[in-house]
Amino acid sequence: MTADDHIVFIVDDDGRIREALGELLESHGMRAIAFESACDYVRADKPDVPACLILDIELPDINGLDLQKQIADRDHPPIVFITGHGDIPSSVRAIKHGAVDFLTKPFSDADLMAAIHAAIAEDREKRSQRAELDMLRQHYLDLTPREREVLPLVVSGLLNKQAAAELGISEVTLQIHRRNVMQKMAAASLADLVRIAERLEIPITHSRRVGGN
């Protein structure tokens, strides 16, 4: 419960720091892997568990902030920056881009551990969110092209009749597509389907007029 369900990555070019951090983390029962450079970190294949990246700003190959930016879109763990010569603009940029904390050496063990715990908790939450979303996206991929046209019409609140007219097909056929969509998306009800579509950011194409019914 304390060593296998999370991991801490350390990227620092100073071997003594890597060692000290590794020992600190071990003494708190946490698993850690240290890298000497950003390149090593990026290339390594990392276990797929809630994690945290302790990142030094001054690295031999690339600036820590630039690394943050590079891996921003991808699927990366929250970052805790540490630095010997930090400046305010860097810290502002780091936090704005989502870093959990920005610590200047020397920092207290307590501060670092607090940041790490916050980061791992954040990653845990983020992962669970993403897992759910991935499942929905997987279901969406199961839809046929036609079903993908039907979905937005249905969650827009159109009647089957109206949606069918929109696609130029018969109401019967649309009902079949609609039914398949519900099944493939594992939606228990229309309300459910609407919420699922919301999370998949399916755009509302037409909204039914109130008086139009």
Partner DNA sequence: GCGCAATGCATGGGTTTCCATGAGTTGCGG
Partner DNA sequence: CCGCAACTCATGGAAACCCATGCATTGCGC
**Site for a copy of itself contains 194 (CB under 8 A):** yes
Task: Select 14 or 149, whichever has its Cβ closest to DNA.
Answer: 149
**How far apart (Å, rounded) are the C-alpha atoms in residues 49 and 60?**
28
> Binding DNA by CB under 7 A: which of 114, 165, 169, 200?
169
**Site for a copy of itself contains 176 (CB under 8 A):** no
Paired strand residues for 47: none
**Site for DNA contains 207 (CB under 7 A):** no
Please give the C-alpha separations between residue 122 and each of 96, 98, 108, 134, 209, in angstroms, as whole numbers: 16, 11, 21, 18, 42
> Binding DNA by CB under 7 A: which of 69, 179, 195, 206?
179
Least distance in Å: CB of 190 to a copy of itself?
A: 6
Residue 179, binding choice from DNA, a copy of itself, none, Cβ under 5 to 8 Å by partner class: DNA
No. of helices (H) and no. of strands (E), the chain: 9, 5
**Site for DNA contains 177 (CB under 7 A):** yes
The residue assigned the tokens 């994690």 is 51
Contact 43, 88 (CB under 8 A): no
* Contact residues for DNA, defined by CB under 7 A: 144-147, 159-161, 167, 169-173, 175-179, 190, 213
